[in-house]
Amino acid sequence: MKENRQAGSLILRTGIGILFIVLGILKLKGGMATWTFLGGTLKTIGITQWPAFWGFMAAITELLGGLALVTGLLIRPSALILLLTMIMATIYNISSGADFGLISYPIAMSIVMVHFIANTRKNI
């Protein structure tokens, strides 16, 4: 039973991690325009300074957070930062009137990050 749980966690971490790595790379490749758009979404919570910087940080968070999930290193802190990123994406999508298809992705990823935070053992 324990082996099944560990295998399931490994599969989940690896799959979600690869997804975040790919999305992070795509956002980084998007350059300044993409970073400015991503960082500009923070205006929904009142943050208007340095949108390109915050967008770049979001892209790096997805890339490095994904790497952490795949490698199994610093899972909890990475999942926490990814959770905050996904919460912000959810807030932006809801406030911009996006349809449920766009809103559901960051919600689902938030749930997975909460799982990683709550269920990852320190020795993994």
Q: Which amino acid makes up residue 53?
A: F
Q: What is the mean pLDDT of residues 2-14?
A: 84
| Predicted local confidence at residue 122, as pLDDT | 58
In a domain, 15, yes or no: yes
68-104 pLDDT, tens digit per residue, is 999 999 999 999 999 999 999 999 999 989 999 999 9
pLDDT exceeds cutoff 80 at 15: yes
Give the count of domains, the chain: 1
Tell me the helix, strand and coil percentages in the chain, rounded to 5.
85, 0, 15
pLDDT value at position 17?
96
Residues 55, 38 contacting (CB under 8 angstroms): yes
Domain assignment present for residue 69? The answer is yes
Domain hosting 88: range is 2-119
Higher pLDDT pick, 100 / 5: 100
Measured CA to CA, the distance from residue 93 to residue 25 in angstroms comes to: 21
* Burial classification of residue 13, based on how many CB atoms lie within 10 Å of its CB (0-12 exposed, 13-18 middle, 19 or more buried): buried
Instruction: Tell me, yes or no, whether 124 lies in a domain.
Output: no
pLDDT tens digits for range 27-52 = 999 999 999 998 888 888 888 899 99
* Helices and strands (DSSP H and E) totals, the chain: 5, 0
